[in-house]
Amino acid sequence: MLIGTVRQGRMSEHAARLVHNELSMRPGVETQLIDIRELGVASDDEGAAVKVPSFSAALDRADGVVITSPEYNHGYPGMLKHVMDTNSWEYVHKAVGVVSVSSGPFGGGRMIENLLPVLRAYGLVPISRDVSIPNVHGVFGEEGQLLDENFLHRIDGFLAELIWMAKTLRYGREHIANEAKNR
């Protein structure tokens, strides 16, 4: 589970903590909340040159990833892309779901549209659901408390889909030969 921005005052952190808490209550699920702000990825180089071993190891262990990110001017944060670019094979054939937040009425849907092709390029498999949180300042209080309980139902369906896809892809990675690797 990634908090996908480094900005101060980020409301997406509240969404990430809520989804992480809901995910951690699922039987048989282990989850880790990773804040890209705390990774300390250098911004003066790229790729493997700035790879953070603990982040790579967490991705390698994971069967799925949740990215929580705000929408910045129709897109995703540049630092999220920079951090994700530090890894490659760790993503292949793993489930990914996106939680987006926005201070406006669209809930970050445009960010998701722009992020999906990037996630596919990494080899991640996006699930069919996402959680878009519009008008985020009306959904979470200043201390991060959820003000609109309707989002719990949406998060529940999102996590059910993510867990199903993660289990399915893990089975595939473990039991079905990947003939495309050799082509």
pLDDT more than 90, % of the chain = 92
Residue 178 pLDDT grade (very low, low, confident, very high; cuts 50, 70, 90): confident
**Cβ contact 148:139 at 8 Å:** yes
121: pLDDT strictly greater than 90 = yes
* CATH of 2-182 given 1.10.10.10, 3.40.50.360, 3.20.10.10, 3.30.1300.10: 3.40.50.360
Residues β-bridged to residue 98: 67
Cα–Cα dist 60/58, whole Å: 5
Express each pLDDT in 71-84 by its tens digit.
999 999 999 999 99
Q: Within a 13 Å sphere around the CA of 146, how many CA atoms are in the beta-carbon half?
A: 15
Domain ranges of the chain: 2-182
Question: Is-above-0.85 flag for pTM?
Answer: yes
Express each pLDDT in 9-62 by its tens digit.
999 999 999 999 999 999 999 999 999 999 999 999 988 899 999 999 999 999
Cα–Cα dist 39/80, whole Å: 11
- In the chain, at which residue ranges do the beta strands (DSSP E only) sit? 2-3, 34-35, 64-70, 95-101, 125-126, 131-133
148: pLDDT strictly greater than 70 = yes
Express each pLDDT in 11-20 by its tens digit.
999 999 999 9
Angle at 65 between CA 99 and CA 26, to 5 degrees: 85
Cα–Cα dist 84/20, whole Å: 19
Cα–Cα dist 64/170, whole Å: 9
pLDDT more than 70, % of the chain = 98
Residues 6+ apart with CB under 8 A from 38: none
Angle at 7 between CA 99 and CA 148, to 5 degrees: 40
Cα–Cα dist 54/125, whole Å: 22
User: Whose structure tokens read 């996106």?
Assistant: 98
